[in-house]
């Protein structure tokens, strides 16, 4: 008898979401005060020292009940363009306008819009990188050929400009997606390397898609707060001709993940095409959220916010790195960006020296971590599994300082017990 066809196919969870599903089997629920969530992908969302008061309300106007423009309201698009010009385009003739900006309800949706506009092309990506890229690629495999470029531990998970340029030239890539800074490794493509990336993309006519969602979380090599945000926008010669799309939003850099608001900045022709996608894809973002976003981007407020964020998260970074190292978990030089520590657990006792066993042991003490294999971006099985990721774990220092202290204490207790076995 022929097998009966199902109406619906079973869809997998995105990698990190699967880890949280596993945590739920141990009793984890979002917001439970007895858990330490070192797996969380969002920063502190409350008031922090030195930052402006959180935006907490807006008066709904009659027009807020209506549909808005699919690509976002002009006032917000103008505010985003002004934000980039002020931070990254001072003294340059070519500057962003509202026509260079499109708005969407979240970064993954924005990436999906971008991928929907692709013709049948080869698109490169670095691995390990954000697991959300795996899903974006996977939904477009009928047209888009994923081309992996490995950044391994020997290079501190960094893809140097020469390797990037060689990959896009030799493999004839028409686009390349990369996060900067990188979730999960905390790797940062610095200004000099960013300029080289941009030069290579321009030379090879390869569209560089930079996900800059963590670009305000920047640290010096000694762990001190970085001098400011980093963006490839500083190295764009001509905003209409250079092949670069910059994706960012409010979720990470401005600590408003619940608003689900993102933007892309790029050439007008690409932006117009993305707006056509939005008309049939998702219809456009929320009007009230966009009006709040305009306030978040006011220059004085934005600068106070990002300065306070770098100061606080640099302190939390040091606490997490030093705490993990004291437990025998190797952190290397520590992250230069994001709010994640990418650490090697292979030096721990045998019962804990791989990511999966460490993850499960943590859940038993109400500590969530994320095993490294979840970050092996591999849409369509384009490469063999990256076995070395089995010894790597991502630790988020997005939680409060108190939670970081408590979580580290619990991990220390787990390791102490394992040493006695």
Neighbours of 411 (CB within 10 A): 25
User: Are 45 and 258 spatial neighbours (Cβ–Cβ below 8 Å)?
Assistant: yes
Confidence label for 421 from pLDDT (cuts 50, 70 and 90): confident
Task: For residues 238-266, give the mean pLDDT.
Answer: 97
pLDDT tens profile 154-210? 767 899 999 999 999 999 999 999 999 999 999 999 989 999 999 999 999 999 999
Question: Using CA atoms, how far apart are residues 157 and 331, in angstroms rounded to an integer?
Answer: 13
Distance CA(335)–CA(355), nearest Å, equals: 19
287-296 helix and 74-88 helix, angle to the nearest 10 degrees: 30
**Residue pair 88/80 in contact by the 8 Å Cβ criterion:** no
Which residue in 268, 236, 262 sits closest to 247, CA to CA?
262
List, in order of start, the domains of the chain with CATH numbers: 15-48+310-420 (3.90.1150.10), 62-302 (3.40.640.10)
- Residues 183/374, Cβ–Cβ less than 8 Å: no
What are the pLDDT digits (tens) for 31-58?
899 999 999 999 999 999 999 999 998 8
Confidence grade of residue 4 (pLDDT, cut at 50, 70, 90):
confident
343: left (phi over 0), alpha (psi -120 to 50) or beta: beta
Per-residue pLDDT tens digits for 225-238: 998 899 999 999 99
pLDDT at 1: 62
- Kindly indicate the confidence band of residue 393, based on its pLDDT and cuts at 50, 70 and 90: very high
**pLDDT value of residue 257:** 96
Average pLDDT, the chain: 95
pLDDT digits (tens, 9 = 90+) for 291-345: 999 999 999 999 999 999 999 999 999 999 999 999 999 998 899 999 999 999 9
């Amino acid at each position: 008898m022929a097998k009966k066809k199902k109406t619906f196919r079973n869809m997998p969870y995105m990698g990190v979401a699967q880890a949280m599903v596993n945590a739920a089997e141990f009793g984890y629920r979002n917001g439970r005060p007895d858990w330490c969530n070192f797996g969380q992908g969002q920063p502190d969302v409350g008031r922090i020292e030195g930052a402006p008061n959180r935006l907490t309300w807006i008066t709904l106007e009659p027009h807020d009940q209506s549909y808005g423009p699919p690509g976002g309201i002009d006032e917000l698009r103008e505010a985003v363009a002004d934000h980039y010009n002020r931070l990254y385009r001072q003294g340059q003739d070519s500057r962003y306008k509202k026509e260079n900006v499109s708005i969407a309800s979240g970064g993954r949706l924005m990436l999906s819009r971008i991928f929907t506009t692709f013709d049948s092309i080869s698109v490169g990506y670095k691995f390990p990188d954000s697991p959300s890229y795996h899903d974006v690629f996977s939904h477009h495999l009928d047209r888009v050929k994923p081309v992996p470029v490995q950044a391994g531990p020997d290079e501190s998970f960094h893809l140097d400009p020469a390797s990037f340029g060689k990959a896009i030239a030799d493999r004839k890539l028409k686009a390349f997606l990369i996060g900067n800074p990188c979730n999960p490794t905390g790797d940062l493509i610095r200004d000099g390397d960013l300029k080289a990336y941009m030069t290579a993309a321009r030379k090879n006519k390869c569209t560089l898609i930079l996900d800059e969602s963590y670009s305000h979380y920047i640290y010096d090599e000694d762990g001190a707060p970085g001098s400011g945000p980093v963006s490839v926008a500083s190295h764009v010669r001509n905003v209409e001709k250079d092949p670069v799309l910059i994706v960012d939003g409010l979720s990470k850099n401005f600590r408003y993940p619940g608003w689900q608001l993102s933007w892309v900045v790029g050439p007008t022709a690409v932006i117009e095409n993305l707006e056509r996608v939005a008309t049939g894809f998702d219809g456009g973002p929320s009007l009230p959220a966009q009006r709040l976003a305009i306030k978040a981007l006011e220059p004085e407020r934005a600068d106070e916010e990002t300065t306070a964020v770098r100061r606080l998260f640099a302190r939390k970074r040091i606490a997490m790195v030093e705490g993990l190292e004291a437990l025998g978990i190797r952190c290397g030089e520590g992250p230069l960006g994001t709010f994640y520590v990418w650490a090697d657990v292979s030096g721990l006792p045998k019962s804990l020296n791989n990511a999966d066993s460490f993850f499960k042991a943590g859940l038993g003490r109400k500590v969530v971590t994320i095993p490294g294999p979840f970050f092996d971006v591999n849409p369509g099985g384009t490469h063999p599994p990256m076995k070395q990721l089995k010894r790597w774990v991502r630790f988020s220092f997005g939680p409060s300082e108190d939670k970081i202290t408590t979580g580290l204490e619990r991990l220390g207790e787990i390791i102490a017990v394992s040493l006695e076995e």
